[in-house]
Structure 1
């Protein structure tokens, strides 16, 4: 009888639970969202959970700039 070593090439890696990944709260919809592999390098800069929320954040920034430029201090 042979024992299978988990360090042997070709072995199946352990699955990672989403509950173990870092979480943030979206600035727009205020829902929690979980780290994704594609955000690996930019996780510190991610503020929104989706493309839709990112677009809404842009719209809010644009509209706030327009108001400021119309009414200078």
Structure 2
């Protein structure tokens, strides 16, 4: 019995990352369909940095409460 050819499915991604593709060439270089700046902008907007979460000296870093539209006084 012959093997079925594998379908190439696109992974489920966030709507802001539609069309994002990554590949590694034969030299081990990573290439992407998005620029590093666009990926970093997405990560800064959507992912909380655990290392900076409890620091008091960094007021301009959004916390989970501030991201959801709440303030610290609530």
TM-score scaled by length of structure 1: 0.29
Larger Rg: 1
Which structure shows the bigger proportion of residues in helix conformation? 1
Which structure has the higher relative contact order (CA within 8 Å, separation 6+)? 1
